Structure 1
């Protein structure tokens, strides 16, 4: 069954397989953007895990344009299935485009209900973080994500710059 876990080095092999499926491009909810050039070594992986864990801690200093974020991994048993990020607050950009929650599921595990379940599991975490209205966005042409958000109680507010903006009360 789909669950959410904190980033953990124990998922290294499965994460690496998913990263290959994403064609070495960091996916939504991963905390990084863009294509990775060169080998993503175990050392690099361990540093990434430590960084993702640290970003949830309000005591961790961040760049001025960043917000603290709780990163969770979507897993099924020992398999890494995808990424999920909960941003603790909204910058002007996140209010317009990114939202509180971002997620992605590895290509080979899509259309199996993982995103829907992961978003449902993330909502109580949002509430624990003091977020009582959760903003989730998706591209206007991403029907799978639209259905996922609406299945979790998302009410569309509007569309801005190609993004559907939904609010979910928790």
Structure 2
């Protein structure tokens, strides 16, 4: 079973190992904005990142909207970070166009096991608890795996905007097309 846990020092090395598997690719959902991946391997920089993420949950930091990042773990081995998922509590213009409410990434060695689908469902539950009634998810047009994950969670394609596909998920139990004007 997949769980979402708040970042902590006990899983720090596994988180770094998960990032290493991306071999320099963009870490969607890892919330490393403003930090160099190599620097996050040092205790002091990790502690700075962790402090920012704690503050970020209630008030946007460094120009970002309030958000929560969780590490994705498998209850069978809770010491291993399988990936990361990031819920933005609100949208600004950039996120509305290209980012959405949720970003996520699963380390390559953990893919193909339903980890992203399970983590997304858990994150949607967190969004419901926060009173968010509609979630925007965005993926690149060539990312068929992310598209499949979004569709399996009930995503409804609103449009394609440049290289991005924009999907809405209604969290209030309604089905069908989501009115994006609200």
Superposition deviation, residue 53 in structure 1: 1.9
Q: Which residue of 2 aligns with 1:62?
A: 61
TM-score (norm 1): 0.90
Q: Which residue of 2 aligns with 1:52?
A: 53
- Residues in 1 aligned to 2:36 and 2:160: alpha-carbon distance in whole angstroms: 28
Is contact 1:138-1:146 (8 Å) kept?
yes
Picking from 70, 73, 79, the partner of 1:72 is 70
Write out the 4+ residue segments of structure 1 that deviate beyond 3 Å after TM superposition.
Answer: 33-39
Q: Which residue of 2 aligns with 1:22?
A: 22
Superposition deviation, residue 51 in structure 1: 1.6
| Number of residues of Structure 1 aligned to a counterpart in Structure 2 | 167
Could you say if the C-alpha distance between residues 72 and 50 of structure 1 is closer, same or farther in structure 2, counting changes exceeding 3 Å?
same
Superposition deviation, residue 150 in structure 1: 0.5
Structure 1: unaligned runs, 5 residues or longer: none
- Residues in 1 aligned to 2:36 and 2:140: alpha-carbon distance in whole angstroms: 20
Is contact 2:7-2:69 (8 Å) kept?
yes
Superposition deviation, residue 111 in structure 1: 1.4
Q: Which residue of 1 aligns with 2:94?
A: 93
- Residues in 2 aligned to 1:38 and 1:168: alpha-carbon distance in whole angstroms: 36
